[in-house]
Homo-oligomer: A and B are copies of this chain.
Amino acid sequence: MAIGIKDVAMAAGVSIATVSHVLNSTRYVSDETRRKVEKAMKDLSYSPNYLAKSLKENKSNVIGLVVPDISNFFFTEIAGAIETRLREQGYNLILCNTDENLELEKQHIAHLQSYMVSGIIIAPTTREYNYRSLFKTYDYPAVFIDRRLNTPQGDSVYVDTKSVSKKAVEHLISKGHRNIAFIGALKSLSTTEDRYAGYAEALYEHGIAVRPELTGFGGAKDDSGFEICRNILENNPDVTAIFVSTSMMSIGAMRYLVDNRIAVPDKMAIIGFDDYMWTGITNPPLSTIKQPTVELGVKSADLLLKRIEDRSSDIVNEVLQAELIIRESC
């Protein structure tokens, strides 16, 4: 069927060993035989079977990426950056979506290993789980991104969103706001926790009490952001500013304000999360916190590749900085 190394060997009149060696330049081959082999490869338009190679070598040139929500721009940007970086290094990317579902996540991780992927990058759905226990070997290459785990389980790349969230809320306070709402994703996520902590700390340091009724948590979707925003604003007419700690929820909250003709920033100030192309053309242009998604992707890919090379080096934990971008919504 498919033409393989042995067809090439036959056509070139050499052994398969020789063909293998010219293929990988793994031992000296005389110029003449090399040429013969190369000609044969060309003539037969041979291309190696990576599966067989991987099986033999017990590792593939593929890595797995496991994310909780592929429809979230934050993760797609990261995925794009990782894909690009890996391609440069001759690797491919298998993309897995978990829908924030631990069972699915476990399945994917097992599955990926069955394909002998060389390593896995995970944005974990939960902070409690012992992901290491899912790995075939104790030193399986894996890097964790975006969400912290209760106990570190390997290399990781996170973004410091606490301090920047604090800065955002301080900005609102400096504009005279005192009744500031907080909208966030599931409370169990480290990311939500951090951003909320930044919010609370800013309030605390300015002598403002945190009012639980001004805070709302839920799924990180736009509809959820819309609902939470509605709920808070309808019940608390004194709110004059909102801090939303998730990109899609920011859109939902904004939509609530637009739909209800609540003037921004005059009646309501808002700072959202994650910065994209369209944040400049919203009504009004939205102030946001910009996370370094590309850098996060590239760093995590590099870390994983390094870990694949050397499983015994010290674990590294990168923390990237985010940036507050002030536009006209606050």
- Chain A residues within 8 Å of B, Cβ to Cβ: 1-2, 47-52, 54-55, 58, 60, 62, 70-71, 73, 76-77, 79-80, 83-84, 87, 92-97, 110-116, 136, 222, 248, 251-252, 254-255, 258, 276-278, 280-285
Contacts and interface: CB of A to CB of B under 8 A. Distances in A.
Contact of A58 (B1, B110, B277, B282): B1
Contacts of A136: 2
Contacts of A1: 58
Contact of A70 (B80, B278, B282): B80
Nearest to A256: B281
Contacts of A113: 47
A94 B97 contact: no
A60 B116 CA distance: 13
A285 B252 CA distance: 14
Contact of A92 (B51, B79, B111, B285): B111
A27 B54 CA distance: 29
A73 B71 CA distance: 9
Nearest to A248: B277
Contacts of A258: 280-281, 285
Given A71-B77, A278-B282, A282-B278, A95 B116 contact: no
Given A92-B94, A97-B87, A282-B283, A115 B79 contact: no
A114 B277 contact: no
Nearest to A278: B278
B281 A284 contact: no
Contacts of A80: 70-71, 76, 97
A93 B94 contact: yes
A277 B221 CA distance: 10
Name, among A1, A47, A277, the residue most crowded by chain B CB atoms within 10 Å (CB to CB): A277
A276 to B, nearest CB: 8
Contacts of A114: 47-51
B76 A70 contact: yes
5 contacts: A47-B110, A51-B114, A73-B73, A92-B94, A248-B277
A83 B98 CA distance: 11
Contacts of A251: 277-278, 281
Name, among A84, A92, A111, A282, the residue most crowded by chain B CB atoms within 10 Å (CB to CB): A92
Contacts of A112: 92
Nearest to A55: B51
Name, among A60, A77, A282, the residue most crowded by chain B CB atoms within 10 Å (CB to CB): A282
Nearest to A257: B281
A47 B107 CA distance: 11
Given A94-B94, A95-B95, A285-B258, A277 B222 contact: yes
A303 B145 CA distance: 34
A36 B282 CA distance: 64
Given A51-B51, A76-B70, A282-B282, A62 B115 contact: yes
